[in-house]
């Protein structure tokens, strides 16, 4: 089991919701079991697609930038230092409203899966 990753060694890819993701630790690659940790990057003026996860609860922690979060029926501003809990089954999306790429750490439990991502 890999217990350490290096940011420069983790290749980015685009998820079903349209964000660029770096899986910093994921069971499919690193051997951990119960959760995944990724960095999402949303370019200026861009947004993710509205989606939900049937099984995964997510924690979003904003590293840099600012944006607007849609979480169920709520819409609110997010900025560096904010953390949001997204309960499984809750519709959500993020729009970058700032002048720099919006970067968010995303922790998912159970781990992120394309099959668990439902576009709305």
Q: What are the tens digits of pLDDT across the range 79-89?
A: 999 999 999 99
Q: Where are the domains of the chain?
A: 9-119
Superfamily per CATH, domain 9-119? Jelly Rolls (2.60.120.10)
Q: How many Cβ atoms are within 10 Å of 25's Cβ, its own excluded?
A: 19
pLDDT for 61-116, tens place per residue? Answer: 999 999 999 999 999 999 999 999 999 999 999 999 999 999 999 999 999 888 99
Question: What region does 45 belong to: left with phi over 0, alpha with psi -120 to 50, or beta?
Answer: left
């Amino acid at each position: 089991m890999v217990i350490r990753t290096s940011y420069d060694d983790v290749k980015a890819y685009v998820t079903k919701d349209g964000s660029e993701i770096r899986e910093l630790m994921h069971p499919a690659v690193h051997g951990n079991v119960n959760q995944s940790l990724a960095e999402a990057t949303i370019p200026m003026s861009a947004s993710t697609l509205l989606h939900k996860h049937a099984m995964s609860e997510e924690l979003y922690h904003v590293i840099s930038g600012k944006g607007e979060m849609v979480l169920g029926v709520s819409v609110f501003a997010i900025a560096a230092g904010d953390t949001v809990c997204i309960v499984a089954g809750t519709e959500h999306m993020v729009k970058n409203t700032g002048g720099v790429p919006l970067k968010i750490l995303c922790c998912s439990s159970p781990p992120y899966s394309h099959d668990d991502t439902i576009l709305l």
